[in-house]
Structure 1
């Protein structure tokens, strides 16, 4: 498992000699809460209400199981060390003990990552983030594609991508989230 870096209190990270650290420092100290770094490009995430509504529908369906697992769901920072990527997923489920110190977490420290597409970021969520989440060991990636009106569950992460794909399923089709969740999502309201 890779270790997350704490960029918060280190002035040397502003040093141009290490562009990854300088960019990640800037993302945390200069920009707003929902700013990402995707393949070296700074992206300010400003979700519309229909986007937030879709995320809320998923969040409500998983929150009881998240509590049972001793976890928390939210949209905190995810660092991808050794790359020019710093993500703020729409939903990430992480163990409560890891969510206590405020530091960025790594994809392999999550139980589930959910991304909800918008017209402006659909390809990023479908291709770039799916590849990077797999490469960095996120065990489950749920893609709610509002543009295509589908839901896909990716599991079995590896360096070359996810080895298991369940979907895409049209909105309205029940979608099974595998263990440790073991529940069926109602996608009818998405």
Structure 2
């Protein structure tokens, strides 16, 4: 790589250009993680875990006037554009088709895959906290555990509940107030 400084005086903002490019890829699961485009689709085992959680959260999300999806989350001021495995957001925020901020969510869920497990465990956990996602549920398929993070701040999450082994119930606090059955994961 060259040590020659890049001249951005032509008005091109690299963060904006990168995020524009990611939004126009044909693959709807592409993310930008610390400036690197990741377009690897999840495997079926990964999708089965996400689907099992979605089914358990669905009724409560509807009661709260929310939708569950895996839409785009922008992290302005950084070279990050995430597509979480699941996010619960107020239905009003989901209208309009634009990317949301992590702080617009009520819950973000990431399910690890072999290639990106440290990204979900470390990088995304830190970024979701920094950008105000109130609850972050990490489903670690390799460790067969779930950990819930809450009370976000610039330095990370102040509270950690877990890791809980598969099979143990995991409490998702207010506004959800539900226990996840993790036995079938």
Q: TM bucket by the smaller chain?
A: over 0.9
One of 135, 143, 146 as aligned partner of 1:148: 143
TM-score (normalizing by structure 2) = 0.93
- Give distance in 1, aligned partners of 2:12 and 2:62: 43
| Consecutive aligned runs of 4 or more in structure 1 exceeding 6 Å deviation | none
Report 1:113-128 matches (<5 A): 113-128=108-123
> Is residue 42 of structure 1 aligned with residue 37 of structure 2?
yes
User: What is the RMSD of the two structures over their aligned residues, measured on CA atoms?
Assistant: 1.0
Question: What's the CA shift for 1:29?
Answer: 1.0
- Give distance in 2, aligned partners of 1:177 and 1:160: 22
CA contact (8 A) 1:95 1:110 kept: yes
CA deviation vs aligned residue, 1:46-76 (integer Å, no higher than 9, x gap):
1111000000110000000000000000000
Question: What's the CA shift for 1:42?
Answer: 0.3
User: SS of the residue aligned with 1:147?
Assistant: coil
One of 50, 53, 56 as aligned partner of 1:58: 53
User: SS of the residue aligned with 1:115?
Assistant: strand
Question: What's the CA shift for 1:30?
Answer: 2.9
Query: What is residue 97 of structure 2 aligned with on the other side?
Result: 102
> Is residue 20 of structure 1 aligned with residue 10 of structure 2?
no
Query: What is residue 83 of structure 1 aligned with on the other side?
Result: 78
Question: What's the CA shift for 1:31?
Answer: 4.2
- Give distance in 2, aligned partners of 1:115 and 1:188: 18
Q: Which runs of 5+ in 2 are unaligned?
A: 1-9
Query: What is residue 156 of structure 2 aligned with on the other side?
Result: 161
User: SS of the residue aligned with 1:23?
Assistant: helix
Q: Which runs of 5+ in 1 are unaligned?
A: 1-14
User: SS of the residue aligned with 1:130?
Assistant: helix
User: SS of the residue aligned with 2:171?
Assistant: strand
